[in-house]
Amino acid sequence: MTDKEDFIRHTGTDTRAVRGGQRRTMEREHSEALFLTSSYVFESAADMAATFSGEVEGNVYSRYTNPTVRNFEERLALMEGGDAAVATSSGMAAILSVCMSLLQAGDHIVASRSIFGSTTNLFTKYLEKFGVPVTFVALTDLSAWEAAIQPNTKLFFLESPSNPLAEVADISAVSAVARQHGIVSVVDNCFCTPALQKPLALGADLVVHSATKYIDGQGRAMGGAVVGSFAHIADIVGFLRTAGPTMSPFNAWVFLKGLETLSLRMRAHSSSAQYLAEWLEQHPKVERVYYTGLKSHPQHKLAAQQMRGFGGVVGFEVTGGQDAAWRLIDATQLLSITANLGDAKTTITHPATTTHGKLSDQQRDDAGIKPGLVRIAVGLEDVDDIQADLIRGLEAV
């Protein structure tokens, strides 16, 4: 480690977000260079042989390493407080790579019931096919996590807060149970980002990200990452180099610049979301609001302990069920009707007929997804304008 790298390690998260991982080229550029190259050249046959054998460190091919991708990985690892990170082509590729590297046929996963829909599909439709069964448990029920452990359980997987109902896992407690049983705990930190929550410091073994959301922050590029110990990341890198779901250098450059403003943006998303959640909670046509920043949230204290802010996603139920929810959504003029989140543009969606549309009525009810539930991911517009749009929507209910 150089003196400069060591110096950066001892700075705050926001400083690491701006300064971490940078290597200047001979051109002495101030802003990070973008290396759009698939391969690298050598001085001689001997030089090439030494690099291929690993005797000399160096880039060979961008499926293996790329300076821009490495810059993003190092910066994110510094922000999460992990030894190392590896970037992937999407958030789902990050989760797949963790499973392919750490699991084998005969192993077992315990996962929260309230995880991203494609993650549930990956576990039930694909991993089960290769002999890795999964047991789903309630995110907040610590004893259920422990009770679900089998002798072959290798992985715990959770997201906190959950989407769209904002349930909170006690990450320290769940990670401690995993550790006692030699199980690797994985936290999908997409909703909080390291600006608001650091699962590794709470005891988790690995953090996975969809960089597509808040890390980009402007809805431009797809990407993901895994952060953790040198040993775990080395295993995952091995899979990625062979199988190929690596991050494109261009996307890495977009995310690298995204990290520089991440903390500022998360603070703005959180403060507007807090304002709107408190206002919605008082509204006569709103039955319930799901936001960890509200004092009325059943796990507000735990959330305040393990998060530095409450994020941009707010769920709320309007009186009148699906009809009312759809009327509200259709009456908005500013908000984008889309299921995506983590964008500068505020988005609005109806979970019961979109992200949770494939479930039976019973399954949806069990999951707590009511027909009147609306989810917004609060963006960076003037909060008064977002509120005015929601007033317009609520008048149509």
Among 71, 101, 210, 270, binds ligand PLP (CB under 6 A): 210
Q: 192 or 374, CB closer to ligand PLP?
A: 192
Q: Which residue is at the shortest CB distance from ligand PLP?
A: 91
Contact assessment for residue 225 and residue 88, using Cβ atoms and an 8 Å cutoff: yes
CB of 198 vs ligand PLP, minimal distance in Å: 17
Instruction: Select from 90, 175, 332, 347 the one that contacts ligand PLP (CB under 6 A).
Output: 90
Please give the Cα distance from 7 to 155 (Å, whole number): 35
Which residues ranging from 131 to 160 are in contact with ligand PLP (CB under 6 A)? 159
Nearest distance, CB of residue 186 and ligand PLP, angstroms:
11
Nearest to 262 by CA among 215, 211, 326, 200: 215
Among 84, 92, 155, 204, binds ligand PLP (CB under 6 A): 92
- Helix 249-282 and helix 383-395: axis angle, to 10°? 60
Q: Report if residue 212 touches ligand PLP, rule: CB under 6 A.
A: yes
| 224 belongs to the binding site for ligand PLP (CB under 6 A) | yes
Closer residue to ligand PLP, CB minimum distance, 23 or 358: 358
**Site size for ligand PLP (CB under 6 A):** 13
C-beta atoms surrounding 220 within 10 Å = 12
Residue 301 CB, nearest approach to ligand PLP (Å)? 23
* Dihedral angle of Cα 250, 256, 260, 261, to the nearest 10 degrees: 50
Distances (CA, A) of 53 to 70, 263, 285: 20, 41, 67
User: For residues 159 and 343, which CB has a smaller minimum distance to ligand PLP in the complex?
Assistant: 159
Is 84 a binding residue for ligand PLP by CB under 6 A? The answer is: no
Among 369, 372, 347, which Cα is nearest to 359's? 369
The contacts of residue 347 (CB under 8 Å, 6+ apart) are: 335, 336, 337, 338, 339, 340, 341, 376, 377, 379
Among positions 102-131, residues that touch ligand PLP (CB under 6 A) are 116, 118
- Binding residues for ligand PLP (CB under 6 A): 90-92, 116, 118, 159, 188, 190, 210, 212-213, 222, 224
